[in-house]
Amino acid sequence: MSRTTMRDVAREAGVSIATVSRVVNGVDAVAESTRRRVLEAIRRLNYSPNLVAKSLVHRGTRNVALFVPDIMNPFFPAIARGVADAVASEGYTVVLCNTDDSTEPGPHFERLLRGNFVDGAILCGTAWDAAPLSELIPADLPVVVMDRRVPGLRADSVEIDNRLGGLMATRHLLDVGCRRILHLGGPVGVSTAEGRLAGYLEALCSGAADERDAAEADSDLITRGPFRAESGYSRTRAALESGLSFDGIFAANDLLALGALQALRQFGRRVPEDVAVIGFDDIYMAALALPPLSTVAQPTYRLGTIAGRMLMDRLDRSASPAQPPAHPQPEPKRVVLEPSLRIRESTRRERVQGSEEE
Amino acid sequence: MSRTTMRDVAREAGVSIATVSRVVNGVDAVAESTRRRVLEAIRRLNYSPNLVAKSLVHRGTRNVALFVPDIMNPFFPAIARGVADAVASEGYTVVLCNTDDSTEPGPHFERLLRGNFVDGAILCGTAWDAAPLSELIPADLPVVVMDRRVPGLRADSVEIDNRLGGLMATRHLLDVGCRRILHLGGPVGVSTAEGRLAGYLEALCSGAADERDAAEADSDLITRGPFRAESGYSRTRAALESGLSFDGIFAANDLLALGALQALRQFGRRVPEDVAVIGFDDIYMAALALPPLSTVAQPTYRLGTIAGRMLMDRLDRSASPAQPPAHPQPEPKRVVLEPSLRIRESTRRERVQGSEEE
DNA sequence: TTGTAAGCGTTATCAA
DNA sequence: TTGATAACGCTTACAA
């Protein structure tokens, strides 16, 4: 009834369990004849080693945990795939957990990380504070944070330059002639949202210094809320109904922008003629939108592979016996990638002035 | 340096390791005073139990494996989420593996299923044969198959009625006046693709019996190939270039349909006026396409939750000590869901005759 | 109510 | 080249 074990194989082959272990792992050197006998017994019994037992001895499952807010959100599958591919090359598999934007690590986190079920973890887009995290994460378990930052957490991180992205988006809108740009911002306190807003403000301020008629940085033009399409829809609708005037929208992500597009269409505003719209992320729906949505692209798959690699590096290091004497753990690494502008129909209109940029 | 164990807690609290186990698991009854001492020691030492060791004793990790072709394919995230939610309610987590349409189970499969790293598995859209699978899958490890069927494998399964879906799609096209319907089929031998094609043929044959001018079932109108957008594009383009005449397209999935839309646009064919197009799956991009794509919707999230639940049921059963005497394992269950027609712009034109169906 | 000790299925050390 | 045997961290009879 139960699965066959090494003991069974040993009995079948008439050798000790230690010898079976040796041939299974290919260590030590076994006489060719016994080796053959053992292999034969393994085949006959259809044996395969129990990795849980192995993990107990080695103190390492070859699993890593990946936490994302929601795998159904089109931003995350490519990241998940990137991580999976990166770690698969070292024989690791990924345990996927949806956090649903919970404000603190849940039971899954506890179970996996503290229960030794994974050797490392990647936190993507989580909204958890550094304090509870640092307390919960075992000292010997490497973690890499991506997308959102977790200020104060001592961990490797990968992200894009969100400020720069916000700057690029807003400058582009200014370039195509927008003067009053509505910002559909992300949640307050979330690093990605804050960065994009900072870029927006920076573009507006430096823009005003130009000779061109100053674009306005009006606090009425800034709204904050969840990164969801409905929120983009309702906030744009509210702006439209309140009679607020604006000729451009910079949405902090594509979902928000898609919602905005819908509201605009409903109110008979033409895009890009009446209002130009740009989003952030470049999820594939962006290219398919009506009209196709300009956006600031993130290299999601690559972000995933980088995070995966960083984790593998830490794992290799902690596995190697030779600890450098100075720091037991090297300083956290931080990689910041540059986003890139993807211009499509939603902002394509004749330039107001100069500034060639294709 | 190493993680704190029960032994440490026992020493700290001045009790035996068995007692610590008792209070951690809340069994047996411990004197309130010692219980408090143990709890206090746990807190001081920041102890949490090692689940790998626990799994070894209990012969069960609370993990299940989910195999999908590619989590980046928009059809799968909702399934993954459905599975995750269903199993999370019983304290299970999911290990995600991308199979990339490999023709046989890879090392991950071996590792996870045979290495006792998961208690069960869900195979979604895999293209593996029953023979290697049944040999590889341990007898005591429940598996549920979804999306594609694996003929000959003794396992629970969840799927939609693909033949019915093909029938509905084709009938709808006939209803809006199409007479020569190009079928962009999926790969040969894949159950979903075969089912949809069968429905297409059935609709055409029964349609011809009507008094209405017979729709043609021309073998030139049937193409087969991978479920990918590029394939839909190139096959449609080839049909267009060869001068083949058709006034409707039934694509075996949305990705194929999206590709077809692109080719049609490039050749100046109007959709739906010149050719009506319908897809299959209802991935969210479908609604955002240009024009919005009619399609046969699959309840993906629900498919996932059902598969997850089926697996949980098997797991509960195998955990319970009371084995029914007759069959050690009850017969495989099979649930087949009905797809539903989602009509959008890509087929919206005046009906040719009767057949109200909104 | 508590402790001792025998597993769970491996690996690894030490003798033989 | 092989075999005992003590871990790995926990659960669970069985005794006390």
Query: Of the candidates A355, A44, A349, A334, which has an alpha carbon nearest to the alpha carbon of residue A160?
Result: A334
pLDDT tens-digit readout, A208-232? 555 455 666 788 999 999 999 999 9
Chain B, nearest residue to A90 by Cα = B108
- Please answer whether residues B112 and A92 qualify as being in contact, where contact means their C-beta atoms are separated by less than 8 angstroms: no
Q: Which of B55, B57, B64, B141 should one mutate to test binding to chain A, selecting the residue with the greatest count of A CBs within 10 A?
A: B55
Q: How many CB atoms lie within 10 A of CB A270?
A: 10
Identity of the residue in B115, B135, B290 whose CB atom sits nearest the CB atom of A290: B290
Q: Which of A91-95, A121-125, A160-164, B126-130 has the lowest mean pLDDT?
A: B126-130
- Please answer whether residues A47 and A8 qualify as being in contact, where contact means their C-beta atoms are separated by less than 8 angstroms: yes
Q: How confident is the model at residue A147 (pLDDT cuts 50, 70, 90)?
A: very high
B131-CA/D2-C1' distance, Å = 38
Tell me, what's the pLDDT at A174? 96
Residue B321 has pLDDT above 60, yes or no: no
Claim to verify: residue B174 and residue B275 sit in the same structural domain: yes
Cβ pair A51:B110 closer than 8 A: no
Tell me, what's the pLDDT at A101? 85
Q: Is A217 within 7 A of strand D by CB distance?
A: no
The mean of the pLDDT values for chain B is 91
Residue A137 has pLDDT above 70, yes or no: yes
Domain of A180, in residue numbers: 162-297+340-347
Residue B328 has pLDDT above 70, yes or no: no
CATH code, A232: 3.40.50.2300
Query: Of the candidates B177, B174, B223, which has an alpha carbon nearest to the alpha carbon of residue B196?
Result: B223
* B259 found inside a domain: yes
Residues ≥6 apart with Cβ < 8 Å to B259:
B228, B229, B230, B231, B232, B233, B234, B235, B236
Tell me, what's the pLDDT at B64? 98
Cβ pair A80:B96 closer than 8 A: yes
Q: How far is C-alpha B103 from the geometric centre of its chain's CA atoms?
A: 17
Name the DSSP letter for residue B185: E
Q: Is A50 within 7 A of strand C by CB distance?
A: yes
- Please answer whether residues B178 and B348 qualify as being in contact, where contact means their C-beta atoms are separated by less than 8 angstroms: no
Claim to verify: residue A36 and residue A73 sit in the same structural domain: no
Identity of the residue in A52, A76, A88 whose CB atom sits nearest the CB atom of B56: A52
Claim to verify: residue A292 and residue A304 sit in the same structural domain: no
Tokens 């079928």 map to which residue?
B183
Instruction: Mark residues 45-74 of chain B whose C-beta is closer than 7 A to nucleic acid strand C.
Output: 53, 56-57, 59
Chain B, nearest residue to A5 by Cα = B115
Q: Is B260 within 7 A of strand D by CB distance?
A: no
* B187 found inside a domain: yes
Chain B residues close to A78, C-beta within 8 Å: 72
- Calculate what percentage of chain A has a pLDDT beyond 70: 92
Judged by DSSP in three states, B311 sits in helix
Claim to verify: residue B293 and residue B187 sit in the same structural domain: yes
Tell me, what's the pLDDT at A28? 83
Identity of the residue in B78, B94, B290 whose CB atom sits nearest the CB atom of A288: B290
* A244 found inside a domain: yes
Cβ pair A96:B98 closer than 8 A: no
Q: Is B27 within 7 A of strand D by CB distance?
A: yes
Q: Is B81 within 7 A of strand C by CB distance?
A: no
Name the DSSP letter for residue B331: P
Claim to verify: residue A83 and residue A150 sit in the same structural domain: yes
Q: Protein footprint on strand D: which nucleotides are under 7 Å from a CB?
A: 1-5, 7-13
Claim to verify: residue B130 and residue B171 sit in the same structural domain: no
* pTM: predicted TM-score of the whole model, two decimal places: 0.92
Identity of the residue in B52, B71, B85 whose CB atom sits nearest the CB atom of A61: B52
Judged by DSSP in three states, A353 sits in coil
Claim to verify: residue A206 and residue A265 sit in the same structural domain: yes
Q: How confident is the model at residue B313 (pLDDT cuts 50, 70, 90)?
A: very high
* B1 found inside a domain: no
CATH code, B45: 1.10.260.40
pLDDT tens-digit readout, B248-267? 999 999 999 999 999 999 99
The mean of the pLDDT values for chain A is 91
Tell me, what's the pLDDT at B219? 87
Q: How confident is the model at residue B210 (pLDDT cuts 50, 70, 90)?
A: low
Claim to verify: residue B187 and residue B257 sit in the same structural domain: yes
Claim to verify: residue A267 and residue A204 sit in the same structural domain: yes
Secondary structure (DSSP) of B71-121: TTSTTSHHHHHHHHHHHHTTT-EEEEEE-TT-SS--HHHIIIIITTS-SEE
Tell me, what's the pLDDT at B358? 37
Claim to verify: residue A112 and residue A137 sit in the same structural domain: yes
The DSSP H or E segment spanning B334 is: strand B334-337
Measured in degrees and rounded to the nearest 5, phi and psi for residue B191 equal -55, -40
Cβ pair B289:A285 closer than 8 A: no
For the residues B164-173, what does the mean pLDDT come to?
98
Tell me, what's the pLDDT at B2? 73
Residue B353 has pLDDT above 60, yes or no: no
* A355 found inside a domain: no
Instruction: Mark residues 37-96 of chain B whose C-beta is closer than 7 A to nucleic acid strand D.
Output: 49-50, 53-54, 56-58
Claim to verify: residue B189 and residue B248 sit in the same structural domain: yes
Q: How far is A97 from chain B (nearest CA, A)?
A: 7
Computed on alpha carbons and rounded to an integer, the radius of gyration of chain B in Å comes to: 27
How many structural domains are present in chain A?
A: 3
Residue A114 has pLDDT above 70, yes or no: yes
Claim to verify: residue A89 and residue A16 sit in the same structural domain: no
